[in-house]
Amino acid sequence: MSQILVKNIGLLVTNNPSLGSTQLGILKNAALLAENGQITWVGDSQSAPTAQNVIDADGKCVIPGFVDSHTHLIFAGDRSNEFSARMAGQSYAAGGIADTVTKTRAATDDDLLANANRLMHESLNSGTTTIEIKSGYGLTVIDEERSLKIAKQLTPETTFLGAHVVPSEFKAKSNDYVDLVCGQMLNQAKPYAKWIDVFCDRGAFTPEQGRKILTAGIAAGLKPRIHANQLEQGDAVALAVELGCASVDHLTYFKQSDIEKLANSKTVATLLPGAEFSTRSKYPDARKLIDAGITVAIASDCNPGSSYTTSMPLMIALAVREMFFTPEQALWSATKGGALALQREDVGHLSIGAKADFVILRESSYIHLAYRPGVNLVEQVFLHGKSI
């Protein structure tokens, strides 16, 4: 049996309100025991059991590993020139994705895997212990299938996003492309995907097309989630709630009726502050969602076009500074919120029975994640009870 005890934790965030104060379930002067990759004991450091391996956290803060519920790691090339042009005044349009599609189609499987692995490492080193990965830069049957095969080597949280944009060869024939996505592409993608997703927005797919795609995915045994309202106010939130999507992602724009619909549903609102940051767009006010009782997650949206970062600490800093989260809400949304967006009960918290995925920070409080932006505050990351 592998055993590790972390003692002398100044502030332990469990995300289990029954274990400690506030929604974060905070314990002071705490310890946690991990055995065979699971949390088996949490409590006061003074009364901690003995263990084979003991780590002294020296009064620092321990938090659950981040759950990044929205990334696009399977791609080739980068779009730094596009970013530079945008910062010089050009606006962001969904069509920029086409450039990455061309490069991804031309890349070998090994190149795609190596690039995704590099980003996975980056992500893990910054404290992310659960990650979702989408396809969506292949947009042919064979390229979507291989993208998901590669993603499945890296995470169980794989999402078929054949409906990312309409590829150029289907220009003016978007319904034909939707038929392909719902037919042969879905058929070959589904063995490697847990989720089905569609980008419902200006320049991408209409809610009617989105309905067709998600319904086909559900019929094939996949679970639905959706990209919506990044570029303009649309009607996709109603669709997401109606179809029982686990999450509606972006929500840069939302109206009062969207708030009401989400508040009366189990659909998580996932905000992606990296996208607003990198496209210099207005940030949504998360307080309106949180105050309405909606479950809110934050994720990196790591992709080469509109948010080329794997850093969840940066997302927390942006969420607090720009979206009006409190530091507590932002940390919760980056951990437990992400887990709920992936319908996972075994991650995003540090209760008995949860996966022993946690992070020792260099500071005594999680507040520093927002308070000291751009600084690496991750001292040690544990994945399934093992230090990485």
- Paired with 29 in beta bridges are none
CB of 343 to Zn ion, least distance (A): 18
CB of 227 to Zn ion, least distance (A): 5
Choose between 133 and 361: whose C-beta lies nearer to Zn ion: 133
Choose between 250 and 355: whose C-beta lies nearer to Zn ion: 250
What is the three-class DSSP state of 189? helix
DSSP3 helix / strand / coil % (the chain, rounded to 5):
40, 25, 35
Nearest-angstrom CA–CA distance, 287 and 5: 37
**Which DSSP helix (H) or strand (E) runs through 154?**
helix 141-154
Largest CA distance in the chain: 68
Q: Are 268 and 238 in contact (CB under 8 A)?
A: no
CB of 70 to Zn ion, least distance (A): 6
Choose between 189 and 367: whose C-beta lies nearer to Zn ion: 189
Residues in the chain, overall count: 388
Choose between 127 and 136: whose C-beta lies nearer to Zn ion: 136
For strand 247-250 and strand 3-13, is the pairing parallel, antiparallel, or unpaired? unpaired
Residues in touch with Zn ion (CB under 5 A): 301
Position closest to Zn ion via CB: 301
Choose between 43 and 77: whose C-beta lies nearer to Zn ion: 77
CB of 379 to Zn ion, least distance (A): 30
CB of 163 to Zn ion, least distance (A): 12
Q: Are 55 and 388 in contact (CB under 8 A)?
A: no
